[in-house]
Amino acid sequence: MKVTIDHDECIGDGICENICPEVFELRDDGLAYVIAFEESPEIMAKIEEAIDECPTSAISMDEEEEEAEEG
């Protein structure tokens, strides 16, 4: 899995960092960044909460597949 933040959408309110500081960090430039990612159930639940709570839907989580072609 891969967590990304669309910086064109992020308004820097820090909600994601409040929910999951292990993964999200609000920096001086007013944007949130993904600083780490751990695929544990606890972290995944918090990431999903952050995705739900982000007011601009800037956070997304995608399957990271090396072969995206369908068989």
Tell me which residues touch ligand SF4 (CB under 6 A): 5, 10-16, 24, 26, 32, 54-56, 58-59
Least spacing, CB of residue 20 vs ligand SF4, in Å:
10
How far apart are CB 66 and ligand SF4 at their closest, in Å? 27
Minimum CB distance to ligand SF4, residue 14 (Å): 5
With CA atoms as reference, report the closest residue to 18 among 44, 39, 49, 58. Answer: 49
Q: Which residues contact 13 (CB under 8 A, 6 or more apart)?
A: 55
